A and B are shown apart, each in its own frame.
Chain A
Amino acid sequence: MSSPVEVRMIVNGTPRAGRCEPRKLLIDFLREELGLTGTHAGCEHGVCGACTILVDGVAARSCLMFAVQADGATLTTVEGLADGDELHPLQQAFHRHHALQCGFCTPGMLIAALDFLATNPEPSEAEIRDALSAVLCRCTGYQNIVKAVADAAEKMRAAGGAS
């Protein structure tokens, strides 16, 4: 066992620091050291996408990274989506469209969608399906998820246009 190292990162806008072993996975660091349990571990081998977060603005699987690899990085997790009590348009759309059942994949879906809409604010349904193919859902059959992302994209465009 190697000795713990210091890791610093900005998570959801707040500087955070912790000590962990070099082999500690980023997802475990987030969940155990920082108490951010909204990010879920499904498969722990990079397939299900439940653990998806933003690392320096890009979607990444936190089960495939060591915490030390994120030293100095800026991270966004599901806990960072809402603005106080005001849910992010994606969260609102998932809520409204029944785009979840057990909710275990939801944080990963939301972050994957966030990443995608940042680069493609006006996606077609096929593009949404393509973008979300990196996250598996065992419950919903995906239909409502596609609807929710399309609706959120529209709302975000409208809000962006208005401002």
Chain B
Amino acid sequence: MNDTAFVSTGQVGRSLPRVEARAKVTGTAEYIHNFRLPGMLIGKICRSTVPHGRIRHIDTSAAAAIPGVYAIVTGEDIRKIIPDPYYGPAFHDQPILALDKVRFVGEPVAVALAADPHIAENAARAITVEYDELPAVYDEVEAVTATAYVHDVLKPAGTFADLKHLVGRRQTNVALDFHLRRGDVEAEFAAADHVFAHEFRTQQVMHTPLEPFVSVAEAANGAVTIHTASQNPSFVRVEIARLLGLKENRVRVRTAFLGGGFGGKLYIKLEALVTALTLIAQRPVKVSLTMEEQFFTITRHPCTFRIKSAVTKDGRVTARKCEVYYNGGAYADIGPRVAQKSGFAAAGPYDIANVHIDSFETYTNRPPAGALRGFGTPQLVWAYESHTDLIARALSLDPVEFRRRNLLRDGRPQATGTVMRDAPLAAVLERAAAAIGWGQPFDRGSGPVKRGRGIAIGFKASISPTASVAIVNLSGDGSCTLYCGTVDMGQGSTTAMAQIAADCLGIEAETVRVIAADTDVTPYDMGTLGSRSTYHMGLAIQRAAADAKAKLAALAAELGVPEGTNLPIAELFRRKYGAQAGNIIGTGSFMPSHKSPDPQTGQTDDATPYWMSAATGCEVEVDTETGRFRILRLVNVADCGTAINPRIVETQLTGATVMQLGFTVYEGMEFTDGQLRNPSFAEYKIPGIRDMPARLEGEIVTSRQGGGPFGAKGVGESGTYAVSPAIANAIHDAVGVRISALPITAEKVYRALREAAGNPLPED
């Protein structure tokens, strides 16, 4: 079937208000946060106080003696009902509750259950745990050679063929090493006019969805139901079924609206824990984390990136070597996928003949890291766009012109060998440059206050291959229900998917009812992640709608209705069944083609179904006497193919921009000896309304994604790619100093200024 043959009937491209907005403004929208069951117990978690240690003894007696406590549960109790209680999407390395060992401060060790949350909380505090501390490792580069090992043996999940070679590996903290080789970088470095080498770092940050992680489980008659704020219920179902030795049809996983996700609520978070607890307690159990506890659950990878480029006199990059170390924390989660799937794009959106990439996912004694709006991409763009800017400045080339000269054009192979298609990188770069007024004179400030401008561009491949399945159900009155496992965590998928279905069926989007992910009724979807849903689920819906239309046509033919009669659907049903009765069920599924990269060279001619790109322009004002800076303008331009709902796309774009602004200038998890010092909103500052740049703009470059539904592609992450380096580049432009480690703070700028003046501040 030719997916692009669909001609829009006008529902796609409408900026209609979100279909669930009324529920959200009246306080009636359903969140798992609100969900309660009769007889429900609340679980509160006792967490590890040491970064790495053997558990010597857990004393639960004082806690169990507190009136109102139902039970205290430890990892050993769980092992009695789930013999191998380890989970994870890439490695089966994470115990439901710590077993034998703890690997980071904040790791769940035991749970207190009580009907009253305050009693459960007091009881969790009354549990005492003794540890024999072990040497720990925190840094992603040190982890590669350290002799402190976070895991005794690597346990990759069977699902990924490319991790098989890691089975049983001991004495290593490297959970995945990805390599890409194209051409000969060393020869090029030896012959080059110029060689530049730099190192950049990013810090550990957290998604902080305003609805903290929450899951509820109940069990009866050999089946389990999990109500959970999850971005991928289908995965949760498969993984829980595996842990319990059940068939998938005995596990039901349902979601509601999510109060934010951003990649945090993926894979297993609390679902295995509440399942084990309900099986032990024989009562429904809810665990809802506090904002503090979220920091001990999943985070964004800190990253060290060593980058080296060979450049000709006239500003062509001919070779690039990238060494990327991702700090995955104590459990792999989806980190190996971050290291590989983002790793292959580490050299940036440039046409470089010789590329050498080594990308490592490391274990350390920190809270685990996984997906956060970009799957490792913002860390990469931070490095390669800072590096690119430094090169342009060193060669006295205009930074935009330098990028223009090297940009990867459609039809040219990316470093994997996959040919770039439908990625309007040049248009994105030019639009951002134009929007910020690049090349035009501007007020460079006066006295101690200086102004500067910066630009950066990033790209990302869609993670592949992944599958989506959709069902379109037409009822006796002709109304349409869409069963789709895409989870609406705020990105607006309910609205966008309704628009796609409606457009295909030639009805009003507002009339389509979208059923929230519930594995008992919604079919398989790999997950709401990596900006994949619009494309993958969108295509599945298109196919489901086409299937329903074909069945309608068959029904019409069966009833002898001449083609082109345009009889209302309800009338067809009435003629068939003699009443308002019956259904037509259309199904559709989509999975793109894909070829695994060669394990030695990372080469493949089919790495991804589509590329996403974004460029950011920034203007800053820096006070050279204090290092304080103000972002005057931040313009983010992204390519989204065809916008299904332009207003929603714009909100996604500015929302992502502001989130990444937080990761650039405010946020950072601060540790001393593995102890997190700032796990609360009081100490970990996310951007508030007064932290917005004086001017914040989001623009979309409309293009057409070949193969995408109505030419659309995902855009949820794009706004995060290029924000950080654009800001650093603007600061450099203003005052001539380079910040190479995130977050960029006034103190760092001031220190750099003093250093540049030959008068460095003493370290404190």
Contact = CB atoms under 8 A, between A and B. Distances in A.
Interface string A116-158: 0000000000000110110111111111111000000000000
Nearest to B259: A104
Interface string A63-81: 0000000000000011101
Nearest to B489: A102
A96 B97 CA distance: 46
Given A48-B210, A103-B24, A138-B210, A133 B490 contact: no
Given A37-B34, A102-B259, A45 B680 contact: yes
Given A95-B21, A101-B490, A102-B210, A1 B67 contact: yes
Contacts of B230: none
A31 to B, nearest CB: 7
Given A96-B17, A100-B25, A129-B690, A40 B31 contact: yes
A42 B652 CA distance: 21
A141 B118 contact: no
Given A23-B118, A78-B26, A140 B681 contact: no
Nearest to B291: A43
A51 B23 CA distance: 17
A106 B651 contact: no
A110 interface: yes
B99 interface: no
B60 to A, nearest CB: 20
Question: Residue among B20, B26, B118, B682 with the most chain A CB within 10 A?
Answer: B26
Contact of B655 (A36, A79, A101): A101
Given A37-B34, A139-B490, A42 B210 contact: yes
Contacts of A145: 689
Contacts of B291: 42-45, 48
Interface size class of B (residues with CB under 8 A): 35 or more
Contact of A41 (B33, B490, B655): B33
A109 to B, nearest CB: 10
A21 B117 CA distance: 12
A103 B494 CA distance: 13
Interface in B238-262: 257-262
B680 to A, nearest CB: 6
A87 interface: yes
Interface residues of A, number: 55
Contact of A102 (B67, B211, B212): B211
Interface string B16-43: 0110111111111101011010000000
* Binding site secondary structure of chain A: loop
B228 interface: no
A132 B689 contact: yes
Interface in A10-48: 21, 23, 31-32, 36-48
B22 A38 contact: no
Contacts of A23: 118
Given A47-B682, A129-B689, A94 B259 contact: no
Contacts of A101: 260, 490-492, 651-652, 655
B669 interface: no
A58 B313 CA distance: 66
A35 to B, nearest CB: 9
A104 B26 contact: no
Contacts of B257: 102-103
A98 B18 contact: yes
B24 A141 contact: no
A110 B29 CA distance: 15
Question: Residue among A32, A50, A143 with the most chain B CB within 10 A?
Answer: A143
A100 B18 contact: yes
A91 interface: yes
Nearest to B258: A102
Nearest to B495: A98
Given A102-B490, A129-B689, A146-B689, A138 B24 contact: no
A103 B29 contact: yes
A50 B655 CA distance: 18
Nearest to A28: B117
B180 interface: no
A78 B492 CA distance: 22
Contact of B25 (A48, A95, A130, A137): A95
Contacts of A42: 210-212, 259, 291, 681
Contact of A31 (B34, B490, B655, B681): B34
Contacts of A46: 682
A87 B211 CA distance: 25
Contacts of A60: none
B439 interface: no
A91 to B, nearest CB: 4
Contact of B24 (A79, A106, A144): A106
A133 B689 contact: yes
A45 B681 CA distance: 8
B658 A142 contact: yes
B28 A38 contact: yes
Given A41-B33, A78-B27, A95-B17, A105 B680 contact: no
Interface string B638-671: 0000000001100110111111000000000000
Nearest to B260: A102
Given A50-B210, A91-B25, A43 B260 contact: no
Contacts of B22: 87, 95
Contacts of A36: 27
A141 B696 contact: yes
Contacts of B26: 38, 78-79, 81-82, 87, 91
Contacts of B68: 1
Contact of A136 (B24, B31, B681): B681
Contacts of B489: 102
Interface string B522-533: 000000000000
A102 B25 contact: no
20 contacts: A1-B68, A37-B34, A47-B680, A48-B291, A81-B26, A95-B21, A96-B17, A98-B17, A98-B648, A98-B651, A102-B211, A102-B490, A103-B21, A103-B257, A104-B210, A106-B24, A138-B262, A142-B689, A145-B689, A146-B689
Interface of A: 1, 21, 23, 31-32, 36-48, 50, 77-79, 81-82, 87, 91, 94-96, 98, 100-107, 110, 129-130, 132-133, 135-146
Given A105-B210, A138-B686, A140-B651, 10 more contacts: A40-B33, A44-B291, A45-B291, A46-B682, A91-B26, A103-B23, A106-B24, A129-B690, A140-B655, A145-B689
Give me the 8 closest cross-chain CB pairs, A-B, nearest first: A38-B27, A102-B490, A104-B259, A103-B24, A101-B490, A141-B654, A78-B27, A47-B681
